[in-house]
Amino acid sequence: MRVLGTAGHVDHGKSSLVRALTGIDPDRLKEEKARGMTIDLGFAWIDLPSQDGAAETAGIVDVPGHIDFIKNMLAGVGGIDAAILVIAADEGVMPQTREHLAILDLLAVPTAAVALTKIDLIDDPEWLDLVTLDVAELLAGTHLAGAPIVPVSAVTGAGLDDLKHMLATLLAGLPARRDRGRPRLPIDRIFTLSGFGTVVTGTLLDGEFAVGDAVEILPARHAARIRTLQTHRRQVTTGRPGSRLAINLTGVSTDELRRGDVVAHPDTLAPTLLLDARFRVLADAPRPLKHNQTVDLFVGAAEISAVARVLGAETIAPGAEGWLQLRLARPAVVAAGDRFILRQPSPSLTLGGGVVLSPAPQRRWRRFDAQALARLATLAHGQPDEILLQALDRQRLTTPRQLIAGADLDAAAAATALVDLRRQHALVEIGVGDDALLVSLNTWRQIVEGLPARVADYHRQFALRRGLPRSEARARLQLLLPGVDLPVRTFNSVLDELARRGHLRADDTGVRLPDFTPTPTSAQQARIDRLLAAFAAAPYAPPIQQDALQILGGDAELLEFLIDQGVLVRLGGDVLLRRADFEAMVAGITAHLRIHGAVTLAEVRDLFQTSRKYAQAVLEAMDAQRITRREGDARVLR
């Protein structure tokens, strides 16, 4: 699933173009319709031709172009795969065109196309050629240099098919959205629907959400649950990385949320008040960025006031790059690698943009601390936590020592990165110390989704068995994780963690779902009642196994269920007894031995008015349990 974003000067036809491409009006506010100008974010979707000729749906975020609403534009442009830079052919490049292009460049939007709109107003072909050259010159030197320029008209429809094919080609050339198993959705809209309650929307990053997932809304850590999911007004059970998603939440109200909050799985992200970053000041900025300058931070869908601490220099000059530590007025929820924009609050203008290097630095750095500056340089050229995560994704389930040894990092940097990943809840850790197991979030999700599903299948197939045998559970988990070393000790640790988190229950013999109880059907229960009635009629000489099976209609599973539940005890020689009757015989024989010192098989037979077969089976069971021992033809207490 891909997301497109519009950008461009006010009244250059962004919303009209979206309507012409999609048939959807992205202007949803009354004031927008009255003024003919986009104030807040609008959303639509488009069917683009794919390589095989089928339609592929992409989301569109339509952002406002007027300078007064540039902050709303910043809330929508994060997380898009490609931009449509809209420039009206009759006016050409305008001030907000330049500012929007600067923002797209700073955010390193992967690709873009230029829609040269309103060509129906141009009579002179040479004018169109001049505007096209002007636009190409504007793009030169930016991240979007060489972007295709497509003349279009939302009024006549000219060029729209060409634009659709161009967008499809651009999106097809992009790599797949990354899935780190740590989904997060920066909220850009919040509203209530009658009969549903709270709904939030945004672009899903770094993982998948599913209906029924427990989530928390950060930074306030409001607990909630996903009731339903929609993509482009279609109900889905799972939201994919990079998709535009509407989430219907239970357990939280709209007045508890704000734009810029982040929906995430519990305990996978942590709010922060400090960010380490690399920052580039726009070349046409009017002045350098000064140390301790107050700025507005735009990251994800959030706008947060901050103080920019310049590290390693007194200022960062226009066109130059440098290191920053941002001290935030309220908590943000970000990840390493996130792009951001800084703006000057008053007069309002864009200062530049950068990338988050560390979302949770350990402390405020001294400005000219050589070690801190060296660490930032290392982070800027690869981000050790990302490198370590990639190594964990390869190894999938390993120990800290093995992970550090297998990563393309020196030991000290890897150890520091592991501390960062633990602080970010970017992995699952089972146990402590050198013997701990580290599991990537993707692998843990496979385990959490896969093994309980296999156990559930076993319950459906063998509804009367207590659970999946441990040895078989290990074999099935090994099939889920091909190439992963899964010795018994490792499997036991994983199983204990699943049980601790409530996904499964396990004992020495088997594994079962937490809410599973073996339960006979009504027909099976009727056969059980008939069998137990036969046992009650002759408690010390009941039906042997073959006869019991006949009473149960030949249902061997039902007989094993009664034995597994402890209702019946299986002894040698096909002898079955109700547990209470067996315990009564053991107690009676033990009492006899305490008085007389010894007991023979014949005495046991006469004591309980049973046969030699049953008496012998009980005495052999008592020998095996080390209650008695045989001396000649008699038994004595051990």
The whole-chain average pLDDT of the chain stands at 87
Confidence grade of residue 26 (pLDDT, cut at 50, 70, 90) = low
Exposed / middle / buried, residue 95 (Cβ in 10 Å: 0-12, 13-18, 19+): exposed
Q: In this structure, are residues 458 and 445 in contact, taking their beta carbons and an 8 Å threshold?
A: no
User: Which stretch, 37-46, 346-355, 620-629, has highest mean pLDDT?
Assistant: 620-629
What pLDDT does residue 29 have?
39
Lowest-pLDDT range, 56-65, 316-325, 386-395, 555-564? 56-65
3-state secondary structure of 624: helix
Lowest-pLDDT range, 103-112, 173-182, 393-402, 572-581? 173-182
Q: How confident is the model over 391-399, as a mean pLDDT?
A: 85
What's the CA gap between 288 and 492, in Å, rounded?
Answer: 58
Give the tens place of pLDDT for each residue, 205-214.
888 999 999 9
Lowest-pLDDT range, 68-77, 244-253, 292-301, 322-331? 68-77
What pLDDT does residue 232 have?
75
Instruction: Pick the more confident residue, 319 or 408.
Output: 319
Asked if residue 39 has pLDDT above 50, the reply is no
Give the tens place of pLDDT for each residue, 232-253.
778 899 998 888 888 999 999 9
What pLDDT does residue 394 have?
78
Give the tens place of pLDDT for each residue, 489-522.
999 999 999 999 999 999 888 999 999 999 999 9
Q: In this structure, are residues 252 and 235 in contact, taking their beta carbons and an 8 Å threshold?
A: no
What pLDDT does residue 333 have?
92
Nearest partner of 178 among 346, 341, 331, 386, judged by Cα? 386
Lowest-pLDDT range, 78-92, 149-163, 335-349, 372-386? 372-386
Both tokens of residue 90? Answer: 């009759």
Confidence grade of residue 41 (pLDDT, cut at 50, 70, 90) = very low
What's the CA gap between 385 and 415, in Å, rounded?
Answer: 10
Per-residue b/e over 391-407, b at no fewer than 16 CB within 10 Å? bbbebbbbbbeebbeeb
The pTM score is 0.61
Asked if residue 196 has pLDDT above 90, the reply is no
Q: In this structure, are residues 288 and 318 in contact, taking their beta carbons and an 8 Å threshold?
A: yes
Exposed / middle / buried, residue 591 (Cβ in 10 Å: 0-12, 13-18, 19+): exposed
Three-state secondary structure readout of 30-47: HHHHHHCCCCCCEEEEEE
Q: How confident is the model over 208-235, as a mean pLDDT?
A: 91
Confidence grade of residue 174 (pLDDT, cut at 50, 70, 90) = confident
What pLDDT does residue 342 have?
93
What's the CA gap between 17 and 32, in Å, rounded?
Answer: 16
Q: Read off the DSSP letter of residue 466.
A: S
Q: Read off the DSSP letter of residue 292.
A: T
Asked if residue 76 has pLDDT above 50, the reply is no
3-state secondary structure of 318: coil
Give the tens place of pLDDT for each residue, 537-552.
999 999 999 999 999 9
Question: CB under 8 Å to 155, separation ≥6 — which residues?
Answer: 118, 120
Asked if residue 338 has pLDDT above 50, the reply is yes
Instruction: Pick the more confident residue, 434 or 571.
Output: 571
Q: In this structure, are residues 324 and 310 in contact, taking their beta carbons and an 8 Å threshold?
A: yes
Confidence grade of residue 618 (pLDDT, cut at 50, 70, 90) = very high
Sign for the CA dihedral angle at 232, 237, 240, 246 comes to positive
Lowest-pLDDT range, 159-173, 312-326, 605-619? 159-173
Q: How confident is the model over 405-430, as a mean pLDDT?
A: 81
Q: Read off the DSSP letter of residue 400.
A: H
What pLDDT does residue 63 have?
64
Element (H, E) at 376: helix 370-380
What's the CA gap between 5 and 119, in Å, rounded?
Answer: 21
What pLDDT does residue 55 have?
60
What pLDDT does residue 375 have?
77
Asked if residue 69 has pLDDT above 50, the reply is no
Confidence grade of residue 36 (pLDDT, cut at 50, 70, 90) = very low
Q: Name the E strands within 394-479.
A: 397-398, 427-430, 437-440, 468-469
